[in-house]
Amino acid sequence: MALGMKKKNENKASHFTKDDQKKILCQASPFVVKEAYSSIRTNLLFSQQGDECPVFVVTSPTANNGKSINSVNMAVSFAQMGKKTLLIDSDMRNPTLHRLFSIPVKNGLSEILAGLTDSITVSKTEIENLSLLTAGKIPPNPSELLASERTDKLLAFVKQHYDCVFIDTPPVNLVTDPTAFATKSTGYIMVIKSGVTDTQSTKRAVDALQSLGANIVGFVLNDAMETNGMKYYSYGKYRGYKSKYGYYNYNYNYNYTYK
């Protein structure tokens, strides 16, 4: 495999939507938001199990949990500390990350895994130290592609060139695609959204991953609401499933309201 690098995209954040501009982590983000992701980053660094290049897989039980934007922000947080970071959009059924960074999908993940190209073309984003491998064109068989040996070869290759890798995957309860990384990654990060993700959906997602020997390194609770109307992020290590949300460790709560 050969690694190709596109030039830094000249499209600035003004090409994002206003909502996306507010959610993508940057130097201008409120202090509490930066601290929230800094705490998540610290916990992930402790969970990398000695891997020189940890591979974190981000998923959620169901759709609309904020999985993709959290994938981006966790990757940005690592890039901001000087780590050469690769973000992979493996949601080949509904790719979105290329839109956030205004990057074309040509020669993305689907083309690599289908054997249509031996060149891995990653794109530098406008964020220093952060590169993106797009999902590519939508294939007819995403699960089969992710389960192929070419996925192993791809991960082995990129781990030689980056300090850390984040993989954005589809919701695990909807398709089997995320489970392809069960034995190929450092661990999974589960994003759940307050008031959207129910307990049974979360349990089913946890069981699906654990049945394959996957390592769940933590959860991100998205859009939790306090009584004063403020939203916050919460990160908790996985400590075993209980019937309610008692398996989260709410030591890392930060208040912030998106206006």
pLDDT in tens, the chain (259 residues): 656 655 444 333 333 455 665 688 988 888 888 888 999 999 999 887 788 999 999 999 999 898 999 999 999 999 999 999 999 999 999 999 998 888 888 789 999 999 998 888 899 999 999 999 999 999 999 999 999 999 999 999 999 999 999 999 999 999 999 999 999 999 999 999 988 889 999 999 999 999 999 999 999 988 765 444 444 444 444 333 332 222 332 222 232 322 2
At residue 5, the pLDDT reads 57
d(CA 80, CA 200): 36
Instruction: With beta carbons less than 8 A apart as the criterion, state whether 15 and 52 touch.
Output: no
At residue 252, the pLDDT reads 29
At residue 225, the pLDDT reads 53
Spell out the residues 6+ positions from residue 238 whose beta carbon is closer than 8 angstroms to its own.
190, 206, 216, 217, 218, 219, 247
pTM (predicted TM-score): 0.82
Question: Counting every residue, how long is the chain?
Answer: 259
| CATH of region 2-256, choose from 1.10.287.1080, 3.20.20.70, 3.30.930.10, 3.40.50.300 | 3.40.50.300
At residue 257, the pLDDT reads 28
d(CA 158, CA 255): 36
